Structure formats: structure tokens, C-alpha cells
Amino acid sequence: MTASPAVVPPNRDFEVVSLIGCAHGVSHFFHLLLPPLFPWLMKDFALSFTGIGATMTVFFVVSAIGQALAGFLVDRYGAARVLGSGIGCFLVASLLLSVADGYAGLVVVAALAGLGNSVFHPADFTVLNRHVSPPRLSYAFSIHGLSGNLGWALAPVFMTGIAATAGWRVAALAAAGLAALALVLLFWRRRTLADPPNSLQALDVATPAPLLAFLRSPAVWLCFAFFFLITTAFGAIQNFATPILQNLYGLSLAAGATALSAYLAGGAGGILTGGFLARKGDQERLIAAALGTGALLAVALATLPLPAWSVLPVMACIGFCTGIAGPSRDLLVRRAATSRFGQAAYGRVYGFVYSGLDLGLALAPLVFGGLMDRGRFAAVLIGIAALQGMAIVTAFRVGGVTRQAAA
């Protein structure tokens, strides 16, 4: 196991975290390059909901496969270069969207955007782990997660606002401008994110494990399962919370959407809080307490005759609990990476583990869509709680396995 890097000045940490936060926000913005434009694209190209929705399946499938592979590129060529290539893919995808003339063009755009998205988690976390001093890592992971939420929040307002006033092609060009600005920023500050000369070779010498050795680690597979479980639950809430609450509690469409917004806002607050709590250690217990409370609240929504006015604060609390677990989750993955393979495998481990995130988001509509079609709305909430419960079990298993490896 390699030694921890020396503590660096706070301003250096701040610059690294800010740059990576901006990059992560851009990646989440481009998750929603297409969905806000669905009404215009469906009208202009005569597409069904199934057809246009399939573009997002393409996005997440390409991202999942690419993410598992991108980690090898990060470990081989450095995170800064790979980050730039990802944003470059976003730029090209936006430009192609602005001139798309049919469904095939939209599929190509989704695939390119998914390919660009695939690099960010292995590259981001490699930079943070190698450049940010360990005492500040929990805060860095917290800001990283929050910046992603801000990217999600910005995209619908940005894209629909421009599309409504100037057309969806202009909105696509505006998104290309955003990607270009991010690319310029990364190029300008590339020395801040770059590894020192010969550092990658030094890490390889210090940790001469075979490239695929990490796939034999139970901790890595448990982390993959953890991400798959929690993001399948998140995908179910993100896709179906509004109609579930409309049917179970008689909420209006606007009220149901507001409750989903409360969940996302609560998640952002939880991520910030979780960064401070994770620094105290015992990440498994913190994850268990947070996800366990969120699961119980989901069961309460599904089974108890709660008054309609309570739905919004309950959803906010579920989001807050889920958010608290985020920084601890990322520290668990760091432990899984370093317990046996050291810093040289950060990209590979993070890339593979986070591909479980994309897989969960891709499968959530399929797994829970059948229950929604049969009107089993409460069962979806119970399923979300069950997934969070299974995630708690995997978190404790990761902790136990990594402690054994370290010993």
C-alpha cells in the first residue's frame, strides 16, 4: 500500500476541487442534453415516447461500457488528458445535435454524449485522490457530488429556456458553447490537474499488479453492487416519483413535480452535510443510518395514511438521507482501491465501480416500469426501500473486506 501524499496548502486543494467540480457539473448537464428537448424533437421528427426514450438507454449503455474501459486510459495516460477528451465528445455531440435531421442522428448524439460522460468518474476521482490532501478528501467528495446536482438543475432551465425562445437547434449550439468554455478552462489550468512527470511510471513500479487484478477483488465487486443498487433506487424515484405521488396521495402534477424537486434539493443538502460527517470515519455505519432512515421513510410513504401536506417534507428527508451517504460511499471506494492495489489502480477501480451507476440508471425504468403499468405504485416505493436495504449490506461487506486486506 502506497504512502499517503503530503498535506498540501488549502488554496491548492481549493483550485483542484473547483476545477473538478466544474467538470463534473458539465458532465451532469450533458446527462440532460436531450431530455429537455424531447417535446420539440418528438414533434419535428414524429417520434413516440418509446422511441425518444430509447436515446437515453443508448446514452447510459455506452456510458456504462465506456466507464469501465476509461479507467485504464486514466491510469495509462493521466486523468487530465482523458477529461479533455470527454468534454470534447460533449462539444461534438452538441454540434451534431444542432444539425440533426432524423432519429439516427439523435442516436449518434446520445452515443457520443454517453462516451463523453464515461470518463468523468474515473478521471475525477483519480485527480481528487492524487492531488487533494487526505484530511480534506471528504469535503472534496462532497463538493464533487454537489456540483453534479447543480449541473442537473441547470440543464432543464438552460435548454428549455433557449429552445422556447430561439429553437432547439440554437439550444444545442448554446450547449456546445458551454462545453467549449469548459474545455478552454481545463486546457488553461491543465498543469494543476496533471500528474508530476514520471509519476504514473513510478506508481506502476510501486504497484506491479496485473491490469485486471482488481477484478479478482471481492471489495471491488461489492462496490459495483452497491452502486448498482443505490442508483437503481434513485432512477426509480427520478423517473416515477411524480405519478406515484399523484396516484397514492391525489397530488396535482405540479405538486408531484415539486415533491421530486424537494427530494433533489434535500439530496444536495445531504451531500454537503455528509462531507463533514464522513471525515469522522466509520463510513459503513453512517451509510447504514442514512440509507436505513431513507428506506423507512419510503415504506411509510407506501403504507401509512400520511396527510398530503407531509409528502413534500418526507420526500425532502429521503433525499437528504440519500445525499448524506454520498461522500462516505466515495471514501469506501477509495479504501477498496488502495487496500490492495494502491494509487496506480484508481482509474480502473473507479471506472469499473461507477459503471454500476450507469447500469442502474439504464435498468431502473425497465425494472419498475412494469409495476407502474400495473398500477402497483406502493410496490415501487417498497422496492426502492428494499434496494437501499441491500445496499447497506454491501457497504458493511466492503468495509469488512477492505479491513482484512489492509491487515
Terminal Cα distance for the chain, rounded: 11
Mean pLDDT computed over 167-177: 96
Give how far the C-alpha of residue 329 lies from the chain's centroid of Cα atoms, to the nearest Å.
12
Exposure letters 250-271 (e unless 16+ CB within 10 A, then b) = ebeeebbebbbbbbbbbbbbbb
Q: Does 2 have pLDDT greater than 50? A: no
Cell match 459503471: residue? Answer: 355
Task: Work out the angle at residue 153's Cα, subtended by the Cα atoms of residues 243 and 352, and round it to the nearest 5 degrees.
Answer: 90
3-state secondary structure of 7: coil
Predicted local confidence at residue 402, as pLDDT: 63
| Contacts with 177 (C-beta within 8 Å, 6 or more apart), sequence order | none
pLDDT at 25: 92
Three-state secondary-structure class, residue 207: coil
Share of the chain above pLDDT 70, in %: 87
φ, ψ for residue 396, nearest 5 deg? -65, -35
Residue 234 has which C-alpha cell?
434513485
Domain boundaries, the chain: 10-195, 213-406
Task: Answer whether 168's CB lies under 8 Å from 158's CB.
Answer: no
pLDDT for 219 beyond 70:
yes
> What pLDDT score was predicted for residue 1?
40
Contacts of 94 (CB under 8 A, 6+ apart): 33, 172, 173, 175, 176, 179
pLDDT level of residue 405 (50, 70, 90 thresholds): low
All three cell numbers of 178, joined, read: 458551454
Kindly indicate the confidence band of residue 220, based on its pLDDT and cuts at 50, 70 and 90: confident
How many Å apart are CA 263 and CA 315, to the nearest integer? 5
Selected residue with higher pLDDT from 365 and 26? 26
| Residue 357 Cα to chain centre, angstroms | 7
Residue 209, pLDDT score = 54
- Residue 178 and residue 182: Cα distance in Å, rounded? 6
168/214: higher pLDDT: 168
- Residue 113 grid cell: 454524449
Asked if the model's pLDDT at residue 131 lies above 70, the reply is: yes
- Between residues 63 and 406, which one has the greater pLDDT? 63
pLDDT at 5 over 50: no
Mean pLDDT of the chain: 84
Query: How far is residue 233's CA from residue 227's CA, in Å, rounded to a whole number?
Result: 10
Confidence class for position 104, pLDDT limits 50, 70, 90? very high
Please check whether the two domains, 10-195 and 213-406, share a CATH topology: yes
Range with the lowest mean pLDDT among 41-55, 62-76, 270-284, 324-338?
Answer: 324-338
Report pLDDT for 206. 47
Distance CA 270, CA 234 (A): 14
Separation between Cα atoms, residue 318 and residue 250, nearest integer Å: 20
| pLDDT tens for each residue of 316-361 | 999 999 989 888 877 777 776 666 665 666 777 778 888 888 888 8
- pTM given for the model: 0.76
Q: What's the rounded Cα separation, in Å, for the pair 7 and 277?
A: 20
Q: What is the rounded (10 degree) CA torsion for 386, 269, 147, 173?
A: 90
Grid coordinates given for 359: 447500469
Q: Is there a contact between 290 and 321 (Cβ–Cβ < 8 Å)?
A: yes
**Nearest partner of 274 among 149, 394, 156, 390, judged by Cα:** 149
Task: State the pLDDT at residue 165.
Answer: 93
- Select from 1.20.1250.20, 3.40.50.300, 2.20.28.10, 1.20.1740.10 the CATH code of 213-406: 1.20.1250.20
Contact 320/266 with Cβ under 8 angstroms? Answer: yes
CA 69/CA 53 separation, integer angstroms: 25
pLDDT tens profile 357-396: 888 888 887 788 788 888 898 999 999 999 999 999 988 8
Q: Report pLDDT for 174.
A: 97
State whether CATH 1.20.1250.20 applies to domain 10-195: yes
- Give the list of residues 6+ apart from residue 406 with CB closer than 8 angstroms, or none: 1, 335, 339
